[in-house]
Copies of this chain bind each other. A is one copy, B any other.
Amino acid sequence: MFKQITFIGFGLIGSSLARAVIEKNLSDNVVCVDQSQDVCDRVLAMGLADEATTDPALGVQGSDLVILCTPVGVMGKVAAQFAGHLENGCIVTDVGSVKNSVIKALQPRLSNRVHLVPAHPIAGTEFSGPENGFAELFINRWCILTPQPHTELQAIEKITALWEACGSNVEIMEPEHHDLVLGITSHLPHLIAYTIVGTANDLEDDIKSEVIKFSASGFRDFTRIASSDPTMWRDVFLNNKDAVLEMLQRFSEDLTALQKAIRKDDGDYLYQHFSETRDIRNEIIDAGQADYVYPDED
């Protein structure tokens, strides 16, 4: 499918995609670019790339596909380093969790001799690093592409084919719309989880040790979400600020209403609200999105 694919950033997602590419034989050659020489060494030792370098300009040479798998906050800077070294006709894509700011960071740096096809595989675990990746991560998961109107159809089709070969279902979306939908389904839940685990972390020592000892199911789920990669999530919130703050505002209003109902002993309001949320779970199960098992859950 490709002559040479360069992965820039070789963490959980990059290494999982590289594993799938190797397993499905989607590229003659695989190149790893990572800022850490230690990661480069480990990737070569695990046989996940044919070559590895810390230099993006060197790593993209001769590649017909470059996949940015770094935190979204550094993509612009990295692109500035390699943009002048891309082959004519090369496709540049990414796996970032926000799309509008990534396009704004990448597009101005790329010449019109290369094709930008932004992508976001909705898949992941709370673990980080190349050792924790696995080729099956993307099977039956959505991958959202957010190409711009001027993008060549052939480049979009090649990226679609890549993700479908890895087992994903591909959907095309406007970048702003992607950021709003993910703001509520992924970014806000992570922010909330980080908050509540932090609140528990700030408790007096005696009660904190019991919170850990008796962590009930609700809290345990939150701690898993809140153990996700700090750099990645810092960048997500800084780069999807508007959508996250908009959703957070709505959430805060709803939380205040429930808080008031508890304070006023308004059992009818609570019951009504808790009944409605049950329905949306059933719709998600019907949509086939509730069957995925994290590696630490089986």
Q: Which residues of A contact B (CB under 8 A)?
A: 73, 122, 124, 126, 142, 144, 171, 177, 180-182, 184-186, 188-203, 207, 210-228, 230-231, 233-235, 237-238, 241, 244-245, 247-248, 250-252, 254-255, 258-259, 262-263, 265, 267, 270-271, 273-284, 287, 289-294, 296-298
Contact B217 A186 (CB under 8 A): yes
Complexed CA–CA distance, A219 and B190 (Å): 9
Contact (A258, B191) CB under 8 Å given A207-B180, A250-B199, A296-B290 = yes
Contact B184 A211 (CB under 8 A): yes
Contact (A292, B225) CB under 8 Å given A245-B263, A263-B245, A276-B198 = no
Contact residues in B for A180 (Cβ distance below 8 Å): 207
Contact B214 A221 (CB under 8 A): no
Contact A219 B293 (CB under 8 A): no
Contact (A262, B277) CB under 8 Å given A216-B186, A254-B199 = no
Contact A202 B250 (CB under 8 A): yes
A227 nearest in chain B by CB position: B281
A217 nearest in chain B by CB position: B124
Q: Which listed residue, B226, B273, B280, B293, touches A223 by the CB 8 Å rule?
A: B280
Contact residues in B for A219 (Cβ distance below 8 Å): 184-186, 189
Contact residues in B for A203 (Cβ distance below 8 Å): 184
Q: Which listed residue, B218, B230, B281, touches A189 by the CB 8 Å rule?
A: B218
Contact B142 A221 (CB under 8 A): no
Contact (A198, B254) CB under 8 Å given A212-B287, A230-B278, A280-B223 = yes
Copies of this chain present in the complex amount to 2
Contact residues in B for A194 (Cβ distance below 8 Å): 258, 273-274, 277
Contact A274 B234 (CB under 8 A): yes
Give me 18 other A-B pairs in contact (C-beta within 8 A), A217-B294, A227-B281, A237-B262 excluded: A142-B213, A184-B219, A185-B215, A185-B216, A186-B217, A189-B219, A189-B222, A201-B276, A215-B284, A220-B292, A221-B221, A221-B224, A226-B274, A227-B277, A235-B267, A241-B263, A252-B252, A298-B298
Contact residues in B for A241 (Cβ distance below 8 Å): 262-263, 265
Contact (A181, B196) CB under 8 Å given A225-B221, A262-B244, A280-B201 = no
Contact B226 A281 (CB under 8 A): yes
Contact residues in B for A221 (Cβ distance below 8 Å): 189, 221, 224-225
Contact A267 B224 (CB under 8 A): no
Contact residues in B for A267 (Cβ distance below 8 Å): 73, 234-235, 238
From residue A103, how far is it (CB to closest CB) to chain B in Å?
19
5 smallest CB-CB distances across A and B, nearest first, come from A189-B218, A230-B274, A186-B216, A227-B281, A226-B277
